[in-house]
Amino acid sequence: MKKPSGFSSFLLSVHPAQGLVETFLIGLLILSITSRMEGLVSLFVMQTAMFFLCGSCGMWAVLRIRLPQKTWFRQMLWEAGMSLAVSLLMIFGIRQAGILLHWDAIWRLTKWDEWQVVLLLAFTGVGYFCIRLCVRLFIRWNRMRKQHMLWSITNDHLMVAFFFATFFGLLFYLIVPYSSTAVKTWEQTRDPMASMMTGLMTTVFPALTLIVLGLAITLCVILPPSAVFSYFIARRITRRLESLTKTTAALRAGDYSARVAVEGEDEIAHLQSDFNAMADKLSTTLSDLENERNVVAQILQSRRDLVANVSHELRTPVATLRAAIETLQQRWDDTPPDDNRRKVALMESEIQQLSGLIDDLFTLAQADVKHLSLECSPTDLHPLISQVVDTFSPLAWQTGRVEVTCQLPKELPPVLVDPRRLQQILMNLLRNGVRHTPPGGIVAVLAEVQNGTVQISVSDTGEGIDPDDLERIWERFYRGRNSGEDSAGLGLSLVKELVEAMQGSVSVESQPGKGSCFHLYLPIAG
Query: β-strand 403-407 against 442-450: which pairing, if any?
Result: parallel
Sign of CA dihedral 272, 273, 276, 278: negative
Cα distances (angstroms) measured from residue 128 to each of 65, 82, 96: 11, 8, 21
User: With 0-12 CB in 10 A as exposed, 13-18 as middle and 19+ as buried, what is 244?
Assistant: middle
Cβ atoms within 10 A of the Cβ of 303, count? 12
pLDDT 10s digits, 368-425: 545 567 888 999 999 999 988 988 888 788 778 899 999 999 889 999 999 988 988 8
pLDDT 10s digits, 37-55: 776 777 777 777 788 888 8
Which pLDDT band holds residue 298 (cuts at 50, 70, 90)?
A: confident
DSSP assignment, residue 177? P
What is the residue extent of each domain of the chain?
A: 8-247, 372-523
Per the CB < 8 A criterion, the answer to whether 205 and 41 are in contact is no
Most confident option among 148-152, 153-157, 480-484, 517-521: 517-521
Which SS3 state, helix, strand or coil, does residue 462 take? coil
Q: Can you give the C-alpha Rg of the chain in angstroms?
A: 52
Query: β-strand 415-417 against 377-379: which pairing, if any?
Result: antiparallel
pLDDT 10s digits, 118-161: 898 999 999 999 989 888 888 888 887 777 766 676 777 677 76
| pLDDT greater at residue 459 or residue 301 | 459
Q: Which CATH superfamily hosts domain 372-523?
A: Histidine kinase-like ATPase, C-terminal domain (3.30.565.10)
Calculate the average pLDDT of the chain.
Answer: 79
CA–CA distance, 39 with 194 (Å, rounded to integer) = 10
